[in-house]
């Protein structure tokens, strides 16, 4: 059997698990202890088959599904195999964690949750396998609908229903743009297969129209500015495993779609496409990280952090398009390698962090950072594994986030070779913006980890917090191990990614990095830059060991435990710790024009004075609320046509026929 056949069997297995969940609708033990672990095993199999497919020749298949004369065309090549690997490998950890997490049902019968969850996984896998517009759109909509029902699992809460409907609205706006993009790409031939689209040679104007439609359509799913508003609403509303699957995996299907259209289906690229992606990506990254730094809800903080990371991915894609438009194949491959490395790195560390918040939420019942603290003693497994995710998200070595961001900054160093003086001046400014984003991301992650796990508990009930279950720990360990391995062994991973860049731009950096051995990463040449993660890890480990030995040798027995210095105020309480609001206050002041802030001042002589600052998104008031009001006015006008009288409806039909006859005659 072909690898594509085995992958289809895995997808069919996920669907079978979903149907088995319906058969055991309220049997929580069976769903959690049997079906979700089986889904994890299928994810592991998918990751293995996808990894093997990256070193095989492209394979195609036709499934007799759907409408007559409209079968599903499927294609398994290096690009689709890479994203299948991301879906499978990340799905393993999330499914194992979900087996311990969904023990309470989260407001929906566990069997129904099982169906929606595994249908979501299967539809994402089919999206990256689709080789025609019909199959792609059917699977894209299936992915949107299944994730909508997962987001609204606790549908009895009005705010969760509102978040789900907002997500569905933006998803369908994006789907319309994608459908129009495919309409342009088929060049009026009536053949919507991707093979036909590859064979077309569109004029520059129509090619640009297709690219812009793809950017809007896939950008809506990814959460780029200003189409990002659904993401910080839907992610906190969804159960934590669903948030992890959406942020870690689903957002990457949008990156896949943009790569497929920009580098595969479209022919020649134009330089300004890359500049557009660079500008949108940098604006999205800055906006996301600034809003993330001032959040007081741990899941909203991670949601805005995902917006920041999507912005970085768009920056990498923009550099790849820009270099490729000027025929600089090696540099385009370097930028795309950075983006694809960040795809898999972000899938692991953001899924890990969302799952960690799920454990905290189950243990404490709190999502607000202002009511958490000191959980490292109560939940040590979750705390230490969250630290791995935090370090990776901050872009610190030797973890996965550092490798991708370092490769991205290396790509910026070569923009001086561009044959355009304007771009030579512009792109270094963008590189400075990326450095600022990286610094603010580290600042935000320090806040996230420190406020939740360090210090003293801010609420008495935190003393009753319980550790994560064994299955939850196993899922976190899997994802944490991925963050570490991706950081320690970048050269083999780049060798795998090289198969994708060879397909997209006809070149790669795999040969260059392998020439220096599997321990030393030098993306261009040894003279310009190199990085050895194992040496870095050994140096850090030896430094820590030496410090421990010196302290034990010279200061052993001199340690005295005492309360922290209290500035002369002896009645210390947990309220004296730095809060999430206080931690984000400098960022709130520096970037005040970015936020829409409402301050609630305490009343004079109030016995319990409360000062509250509410931060809102300008785009709600500049774009979305005006559009909503305009839509309501138009709907009221159109509603007047419905009079409820048959004579009026017959008159409408008669007038329509007269107009059509006049038009036909003309």
Instruction: Report the distance separating Cα 525 and Cα 51, nearest Å.
Output: 28
| Domain map (residue ranges) of the chain | 269-547+578-590, 591-665
Show the CA angle centred on residue 346, arms to residues 340 and 349, nearest 5°.
145
Structure tokens at 541: 């480990």
* Per-residue DSSP letter, 108: S
Query: Hey, CA dihedral for 147, 149, 153, 154, is it positive or negative?
Result: positive
Asked if residues 142 and 118 have their Cβ atoms less than 8 Å apart, the reply is no
Instruction: Report the distance separating Cα 504 and Cα 496, nearest Å.
Output: 14
What residues have CB less than 8 Å from 257, skipping those under 6 apart?
127, 178, 214, 217, 218, 221
Phi, psi of 362 (to 5 degrees): -65, -35
Nearest to 111 by CA among 13, 28, 14, 12: 28
DSSP element (H, E) containing 60: strand 59-63
DSSP element (H, E) containing 166: helix 158-185
pLDDT score for 156? 82
CA distances from 516 to 336, 521, 531 (A): 21, 7, 11
pLDDT score for 84? 96
* Per-residue DSSP letter, 601: P
Instruction: Report the distance separating Cα 411 and Cα 12, nearest Å.
Output: 41
Asked if residues 150 and 113 have their Cβ atoms less than 8 Å apart, the reply is yes
Q: Tell the residue number behind the tokens 């321990």, with chain if given.
A: 519
pLDDT score for 559? 65
3-state DSSP assignment of residue 482? helix
Asked if residues 110 and 118 have their Cβ atoms less than 8 Å apart, the reply is no
Residue 481's CB: how many other CB atoms inside 10 A? 15
Instruction: Report the distance separating Cα 461 and Cα 366, nearest Å.
Output: 10
pTM of the full structure: 0.91
Structure tokens at 223: 């959460």
Phi, psi of 625 (to 5 degrees): -65, -45
Average pLDDT per consecutive 10 residues, the chain (666 residues; last block may be shorter): 88 93 86 91 94 90 79 91 95 92 69 91 95 92 92 85 90 93 90 89 90 94 90 88 92 94 88 92 93 89 92 93 89 91 94 92 84 86 92 88 88 78 80 89 90 83 82 93 90 90 86 72 68 78 84 70 69 72 80 78 65 78 86 83 76 87 76
Structure tokens at 377: 């003693």
pLDDT score for 107? 67
Nearest to 339 by CA among 399, 278, 388: 278
């Amino acid at each position: 059997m072909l690898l594509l056949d085995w992958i289809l069997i895995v997808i069919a297995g996920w669907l079978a698990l979903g149907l088995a969940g319906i058969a055991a609708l309220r049997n929580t033990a069976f769903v959690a202890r049997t079906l979700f672990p089986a889904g994890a095993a299928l994810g592991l199999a998918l990751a293995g088959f996808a990894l093997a497919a990256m070193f095989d020749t492209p394979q195609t298949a036709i499934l007799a599904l759907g409408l007559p004369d409209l079968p599903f065309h499927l294609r398994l090549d290096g690009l689709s195999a890479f994203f299948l690997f991301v879906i499978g490998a990340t799905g393993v950890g999330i499914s194992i964690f979900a087996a311990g997490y969904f023990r309470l049902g989260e407001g929906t019968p566990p069997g129904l949750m099982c169906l929606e969850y595994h249908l979501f996984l299967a539809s994402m896998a089919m999206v990256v396998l689709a080789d025609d517009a019909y199959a792609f759109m059917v699977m894209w909509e299936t992915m949107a609908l299944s994730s909508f029902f997962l987001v609204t699992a606790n549908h009895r809460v009005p705010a969760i229903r509102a978040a789900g409907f907002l997500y569905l609205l933006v998803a369908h706006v994006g789907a319309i743009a994608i459908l129009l993009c495919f309409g342009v790409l088929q060049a009026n031939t009536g053949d919507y297969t991707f093979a036909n689209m590859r064979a077309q040679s569109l004029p520059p104007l129509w090619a640009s129209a297709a690219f812009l439609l793809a950017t809007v359509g896939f950008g809506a799913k990814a959460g780029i500015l200003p189409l990002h508003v659904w993401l910080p609403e839907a992610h906190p509303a969804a159960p934590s495993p669903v948030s992890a699957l959406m942020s870690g995996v689903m957002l990457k299907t949008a990156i896949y779609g943009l790569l497929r259209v920009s580098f595969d289906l479209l022919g020649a690229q134009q330089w300004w496409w890359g500049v557009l992606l660079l500008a949108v990506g940098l604006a999205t990254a800055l906006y996301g990280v600034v809003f993330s730094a001032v959040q007081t809800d741990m899941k909203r903080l991670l949601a805005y952090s995902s917006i920041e990371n999507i912005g970085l991915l768009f920056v990498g894609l923009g550099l790849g398009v820009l270099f490729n438009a000027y025929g600089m194949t090696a540099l385009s491959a370097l930028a795309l390698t950075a983006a694809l490395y960040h795809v898999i790195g972000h899938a692991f560390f953001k899924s890990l962090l969302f799952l960690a918040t799920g454990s905290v939420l189950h243990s404490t019942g709190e999502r607000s950072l202002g009511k958490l603290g000191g959980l490292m003693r109560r939940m040590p497994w979750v705390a230490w594994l969250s630290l791995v995710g935090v370090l990776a998200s901050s872009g610190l070595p030797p973890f996965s986030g550092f490798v991708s961001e370092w490769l991205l900054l290396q790509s910026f160093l070569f923009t001086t070779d561009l044959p355009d003086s304007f771009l030579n001046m512009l792109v270094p400014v963008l590189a400075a913006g990326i450095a600022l984003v990286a610094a603010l991301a580290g600042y935000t992650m320090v806040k996230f980890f420190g406020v939740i796990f360090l210090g003293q508990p801010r609420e008495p009930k935190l003393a009753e917090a319980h550790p994560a279950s064994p299955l939850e720990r196993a899922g976190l360990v899997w994802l944490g191990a991925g963050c570490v391995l991706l950081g320690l062994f970048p050269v083999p991973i780049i060798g795998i990614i090289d198969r994708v860049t060879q397909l997209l731009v006809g070149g790669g950096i795999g040969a260059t990095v392998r020439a220096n051995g599997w321990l030393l990463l030098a993306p261009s040449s040894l003279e310009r830059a190199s990085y050895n993660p194992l040496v870095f890890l050994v140096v850090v480990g030896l430094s820590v060991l030496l410090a421990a030995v010196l302290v034990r040798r010279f200061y052993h027995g001199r340690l005295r435990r005492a309360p922290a210095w209290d500035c002369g105020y002896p009645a210390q309480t947990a309220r004296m710790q730095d809060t999430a609001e206080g931690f984000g206050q400098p960022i709130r002041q520096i970037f005040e024009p970015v936020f829409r802030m409402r301050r609630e001042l305490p009343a004079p002589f109030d016995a319990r004075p409360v000062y509250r600052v509410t931060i809102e998104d300008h785009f709600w008031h500049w774009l979305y609320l005006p559009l909503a009001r305009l839509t309501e006015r138009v709907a009221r006008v159109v509603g007047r046509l419905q009079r409820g009288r048959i004579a009026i409806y017959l008159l409408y039909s008669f007038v329509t026929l007269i107009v059509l006859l006049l038009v036909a005659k003309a």
